[in-house]
Amino acid sequence: MLTVDVQSQYDFLSEDYAKLFAQSGATAFQHPIWLDVFYRRLPQQRGAQPVIVTVHEGDELLGVVPLIRRNRLGIVMIEPHNLGVTDYAAPVLSPHLLRKPTVESALPELMAQALGRHDLVRILPVRPEHMEDWTLLFPGDPVPVDFSAHAVGLSEPMDRWRETHVDRKLSSQYRRKAKRWCNQHEVDIRRLTDAADE
């Protein structure tokens, strides 16, 4: 038996969510630290309400769908946690959930009941690899985004990575812009490794 609940607060730094995220195909914008900071700071400043959907089978967490609700020109909209700072919407789903034969028919109805009254569900932008996950939750004919950014693996030291992966002309242009920016503004660049450093 699947249970679908909606919460306005969720502990994204919990062990359960970290485990779910690690086995899901979600993006960096569903990372525990990103979502923890996003939901603590942004929705209330932008007139949005957190809508965090959890999917359980018994005590086992099988899915978390980070959403918001907001009223735009009288239309109550359910959307991914975007608000202009997030690329790529993805539900955080366990592979176990995706393999369940009864999920396809059960989840959309359970999602609709949990979300309550609204006028429109608008999910974007969605990478092609996440379209099937969203159609598992919301019926409809998805349309892939008409733009894309290509993910690349980063490695240290950054100067060497830039030499081997970025065109020389482009790299030179970036350096000039960075130097100009640093001369005009007080810049402190630090690598954060702990949630407490945010």
The pLDDT of residue 146 is: 64
145 pLDDT above the threshold of 70: no
- The whole-number pLDDT of residue 119 equals 93
CA separation for the pair 142, 44 (Å, rounded): 29
Q: Which of 68-77, 124-133, 161-170 has the highest mean pLDDT?
A: 68-77
Predicted confidence (pLDDT) per residue in 81-91, tens digit = 988 888 888 99
pLDDT digits (tens, 9 = 90+) for 109-139: 999 999 999 999 998 888 888 888 898 898 8
**Quick check: helix, strand or coil at residue 99?**
coil
Q: With 0-12 CB in 10 A as exposed, 13-18 as middle and 19+ as buried, what is 126?
A: buried
Res 23: pLDDT: 94
Half-sphere exposure of 36 (CA within 13 A, CB side): 13
Out of 65-69, 150-154, 175-179, least confident range: 150-154
The rounded distance, in Å, linking the Cα atoms of 87 and 123 is 12
Asked if the peptide bond before residue 125 counts as cis, ω within 30 degrees of 0, the response is yes
Q: What is the pTM of this model?
A: 0.74
